[in-house]
Amino acid sequence: MNQKSIKTSDAGEHKISRRGFLGKATAAAAATYAIPTLIPSGVLAANGQPGANDRLVMGYIGVGGMGTGHVREDDSTIGAICDVDENHLQRAAKRATKSTPFLTKDYRRILDRDDIDAVFVATPDHWHALQMVHACQAGKDVYTEKPTCKTVEEGQAMINAAKRYNRVVQVGAQGRSTAAGHVAATYVRNGQLGRVSRVEVWHPDNMGDGWGENQPPPDHLDWDMWLGPMRWREYNPAIAHFNFRWLMDSGGGFIRDRGNHALNIVSWAVGLDHKHPVSVEATGDPYVDSIYDAPKRMQARWEFKDPDVVVTWEQPGNKHGIEWGERFVGDKDTLLVSGGDGGCDTEQKAKQYTPPANGVHLQRSTNHRQNWIDCIKTREEPISNITALVNVVYMPILALISYRVGRKLQWDAANLQFVGDAEANRLLREPYRGTWSLG
């Protein structure tokens, strides 16, 4: 592993140049979704695979909110940190007490470096796919926060990039690494509820309201880079940072945000990781007199075949004494699960259950970050792998499209498109601003 010294400025040769990234032909946009090569070849770095005892050198892309907690030196070296907000950048840099990390506001400068083995991506949602794909192209393993992606086109590009460049990608849907998530899924998968025909998911309304005020961005924030591939809009403190979630361009509301957590547990427990719904129908109530355009509350219904199960999403939440969670309904019994992220919990009957030797034994992880690091060294598939979690996030993505067009939609999983609905199919991809490209 390359342990050469780490620079502390943006100076230096740019091996995968910004011009090189931005100038690639966007073959992904022109290709049909069924074609499994959305990513161009020729940019894979020649990194060696780390051994079991090697200490990994990490890069951190986005260090506000969840990203701050990723910056640690307990099991790896802090090699480089990126954030478009200088305040976030300097705060995160103080967490490095054993190294002097390279600091930048441009994530591509981290990807250029030979001394970086892997990266954490914890930027706003509209950046996840682009940065994960570029990291794979640069030969880096990736931990990317949820929601996994914004569009179906992005999801396929992420799956293809991980496969093509043989990268270990973990999605930060950490419910699968909780004891409660594991026992709940084990309980359901071993038939303790009988045949599960319905799963109900609920959550409180989306947050926020009002307009804020368009104004020049603060000096510490690179607003153009914050927007990145998203269409241009003026800076507004009601958008950045946390509240990007309530805009369709950069979020989509809780159905994509915490919905990615809750539906992750549903998919694992019912066996939907490699399944797609056959239909989706969603309705919602928009914000009133507000800058936010995601639905403030939403109801959705997905129908699956083989297994035949209906999954529903409902806002507002607070059902069965639980603020947000899931209820699995079988022909023999039911099971409640609260949350779906790191605070996941479930009923005692699931906690006390031990599957038989010939029963279903699911992959076990007690630490989501460590599971990823272990898999980097063994090259095994992590517990929240990219293929499963892209399929999970397709559920809210398709629901948001149904909400936008105002009707029930039939889904053709083989061709990754809606059946006979050109308007809905146009929403399966979103054009990037300027020269930003998945290529």
Q: How far apart are CA 439 and CA 431, in angstroms?
A: 13
Q: How far apart are CA 205 and CA 121, in angstroms?
A: 27
| Packing angle of the helix pair 152-164, 386-405 (nearest 10 deg) | 170
Q: Kindly report, residue by residue over 205-217, the tens digit of the pLDDT.
A: 999 899 999 999 9
Angle at the Cα of 255 from the Cα atoms of 253 and 260, rounded to 5 degrees: 115
**pLDDT tops 60 at residue 6:** no
Angle at the Cα of 94 from the Cα atoms of 93 and 100, rounded to 5 degrees: 55
Q: Kindly report, residue by residue over 294-336, the tens digit of the pLDDT.
A: 999 999 999 999 999 999 999 998 999 999 999 999 999 999 9
Token representation of residue 205:
């309304």
For the chain, the structural domain boundaries read: 178-209+239-355+386-418
Q: Kindly report, residue by residue over 106-135, the tens digit of the pLDDT.
A: 999 999 999 999 999 999 999 999 999 999
**pLDDT tops 70 at residue 39:** no
Angle at the Cα of 39 from the Cα atoms of 399 and 226, rounded to 5 degrees: 65
User: CATH fold of 178-209+239-355+386-418, please?
Assistant: Dihydrodipicolinate Reductase; domain 2 (3.30.360)
Across residues 326-355, what is the average pLDDT? Answer: 97
DSSP E strands: which ranges in 21-85? 56-61, 76-82
Closest CA to 22 of 229, 226, 306: 229
Token representation of residue 80:
């480089």
Share of the chain above pLDDT 70, in %: 88
Share of the chain above pLDDT 90, in %: 84
Find the length of the chain. 439
Q: In the structure, what pLDDT confidence band is assigned to residue 30 with cuts at 50, 70 and 90? A: very low
Q: In the structure, what pLDDT confidence band is assigned to residue 51 with cuts at 50, 70 and 90? A: low
Q: How far apart are CA 226 and CA 241, in angstroms?
A: 9
Q: How far apart are CA 26 and CA 427, in angstroms?
A: 18
Chain centroid to CA 183: 23
Instruction: Kindly give, in sequence order, each residue whose CB lies less than 8 Å from that of residue 335, ignoring residues fewer than 6 positions away.
Output: 184, 187, 188, 192, 193, 327, 328, 346, 347, 349, 350
